[in-house]
Chain A
Amino acid sequence: MITTIGEIVRGDAAVFPPYLYEAYRSTLRRAPRLPLVEVPLTASELSRPRLDVSHVTAEDADLTRNAGTGGEALGQRIIVTGRVTDENGLPAPGALLEVWQANAAGRYIHKRDDWPGPLDPNFLGIGRCLTNAAGEYRFLTVRPGAYPWGNHENAWRPAHIHFSVLASSWSQRLVTQMYFPDDPLLGLDPIFNAVPDGARSRLVAAYAHGVTEPHWALGWRWDIVLAGPGATAFEAREQSAA
C-alpha cells in the first residue's frame, strides 16, 4: 500500500504501527506531530490495578448467547482461543480480555453503524473473560462479517475481532484486532497494513482443527504476546537490586 507513513511510533518500530498512516484518514488530524518523549519505566507504569472482576461471568465469554434473549446468534459458530504471554513465554494469568465485533452480516449494534446490513436481535457483539493460570482465554462467538466504511471509495474492513488486554502492568496494556487468514480484504485494508510488514501476520488467527468441536463449532487459535515488562518481572528486578 503506497501512502505517507509517519516516523512517530511508540514501542518497537518493527512491530507497532506509526501514528500517522495517511491511507487511514482518521490518523491525519489525530496523530501527534512532535516526537514522543523517551523516559524510563517507573513503578507507576509497572503497577497493576486491582480490577473488580466479580462482574465477569462464564456467560460473558459466550457471544452466541450473552444477549440474554434466550435465542442464539446467527452465523458460523467459532471458538477463538489462545494464550496471553510475555516475550519469554511466561503466561499472563488473570488478564482481562474484552472483545467486540460485528455480527455475521458485518453489522455492529452501535448507533453510529448505519449501513444496511441486518442486525441480529440475539447478538450484542461484546464479550469478556479472564485468562486462566496458564494465560489461556476462550471465546465462543460467530464469525464476523466484513463491513463497509467511509475511509475511501468502496472501502471494506476485513472480518476482525477487537481485543482489549489488561494484564499485569500498565506497560503491557494492549488494544488490537484479530483477523482471519485468506481474507481477500486484508491486502486492501489500511488499518491492517499500517502494521509493519514483518509483524502483520501476528494479527491473523490460525485455523486449529484440534480446537474445532464436532457437530458444533470451528476452532481458531490466536496467541497474544505482550510488550513491556509485567509487574512480576519488576518485582524480581527490585529484589535482585536490593
Chain B
Amino acid sequence: MTPLPFTPSQTVGPFFHDCLLRVDRCESTAGDEGGVQIHLEGRVIDGDGAGVPDAVIEVWHAESFARIGTDAEGGFSISTTRPKRVQLDRGTTQAPHLSIAVFARGLMNHLLTRVYFEDDPSTESDPILRLVPETRRATLIARRVPDESLTPLYRFDIVLQGAGETVFFDFKSPAR
C-alpha cells in the first residue's frame, strides 16, 4: 500500500489560551508517586532579545506531561518530577532529561529541544548531547539556582533565534 501523505503543521497562532491552557486540561500526574519534585523556570526569548509572551511549553518525560503558557515577559515555571535515565539501546543509557516542545505564534511547526541537568554526572557523556556541536551544548543544560526551598530549582532559557540560540532537534526515524 502506498503510504498516506502526512498532515502538515500550522502555527498555534495567538488565540490558543482558552483551549490549550483551560483549567481542567488533561495533564498527567503520572510519575509523581515517589518521584523527587523539581522546578524549572526560564524565559522564551526571540531574535530581538525580547520575551515571547504568547508561547506554550510542553514538557514530556516517561509518562508524565505538563503544559504551561509564558507570561508577559516570556517567563515560564514548571514543576515536574526529576527524570530518570532512559535506555538508548542495549548497553547504552541516556542521561536524565526533559523533552520540551515550544509552540507560538510565528512558529509554523513546534520546536523540539531537551533539558539536561548540570549537576547530574551522566550529562556530559549523554549519547544524544554528544551529537550536538560542542560549542552549543550548554544551551541544553539547565543551571541549578541556589535556593532555600527543599525543591531543587533549575534555570533554562529558550532562545528561539540569535546569540545563544538554543539547539533544536529534528529526530529521525530509524531505518525501516
Which A residues are within 8 Å of any B CB, using their own CB? 9-12, 15-19, 21, 24-34, 36-45, 47-53, 55-56, 85-89, 96, 98-100, 102, 108-110, 112-113, 124-128, 162, 164, 166, 170-171, 173-177, 191-192, 194-196, 199-200, 202-203, 223-229, 237
A sample of 11 inter-chain contacts (CB < 8 A) reads: A37-B169, A37-B170, A38-B169, A52-B27, A87-B4, A110-B15, A173-B58, A175-B12, A199-B8, A203-B8, A203-B10
- Inter-chain contact A195/B131, CB cutoff 8 Å: no
How far apart are the CA atoms of A40 and B9 in the complex, in Å?
Answer: 21
Residues of A within 8 A of B22 (CB): 126
B49 to chain A, nearest CB (A): 10
Contact of A30 among B61, B63, B94, B106 (CB under 8 A): B106
Residues of B within 8 A of A124 (CB): 18
B99 within 8 A of A: yes
- Inter-chain contact B7/A226, CB cutoff 8 Å: yes
Residues of B within 8 A of A44 (CB): 60-61, 86, 94, 97, 99, 114
- Inter-chain contact A41/B174, CB cutoff 8 Å: yes
- Inter-chain contact B170/A175, CB cutoff 8 Å: no
B99 to chain A, nearest CB (A): 5
SS of A interface (majority): loop
A30 to chain B, nearest CB (A): 4
How far apart are the CA atoms of A111 and B50 in the complex, in Å?
Answer: 22
- Inter-chain contact A224/B64, CB cutoff 8 Å: no
Residues of B within 8 A of A100 (CB): 15-16, 18-20
B70 to chain A, nearest CB (A): 12
Contacts A44-B97, A164-B20 hold; do A30 and B47 have CB atoms under 8 A apart? yes
Residues of A within 8 A of B15 (CB): 100, 102, 108, 110, 112-113, 162
B104 within 8 A of A: yes
- Inter-chain contact A55/B63, CB cutoff 8 Å: no
How far apart are the CA atoms of A100 and B17 in the complex, in Å?
Answer: 9
Contacts A21-B108, A56-B26 hold; do A87 and B170 have CB atoms under 8 A apart? no
How far apart are the CA atoms of A75 and B114 in the complex, in Å?
Answer: 44
- Inter-chain contact B63/A228, CB cutoff 8 Å: no
B4 to chain A, nearest CB (A): 5
- Inter-chain contact A49/B5, CB cutoff 8 Å: no
A186 to chain B, nearest CB (A): 13
Contacts A32-B111, A200-B8, A202-B8 hold; do A52 and B106 have CB atoms under 8 A apart? no
A208 to chain B, nearest CB (A): 17
Taking CB as reference atom, which chain A residue is nearest B99?
A44
How far apart are the CA atoms of A52 and B32 in the complex, in Å?
Answer: 13
How far apart are the CA atoms of A38 and B172 in the complex, in Å?
Answer: 7
- Inter-chain contact B14/A225, CB cutoff 8 Å: no
How far apart are the CA atoms of A223 and B25 in the complex, in Å?
Answer: 24
Taking CB as reference atom, which chain A residue is nearest B87?
A43
How far apart are the CA atoms of A49 and B46 in the complex, in Å?
Answer: 29
Contact of A32 among B27, B114, B160 (CB under 8 A): B160
Contact of A39 among B1, B111, B128, B136 (CB under 8 A): B128
A232 to chain B, nearest CB (A): 14
How far apart are the CA atoms of A102 and B168 in the complex, in Å?
Answer: 32
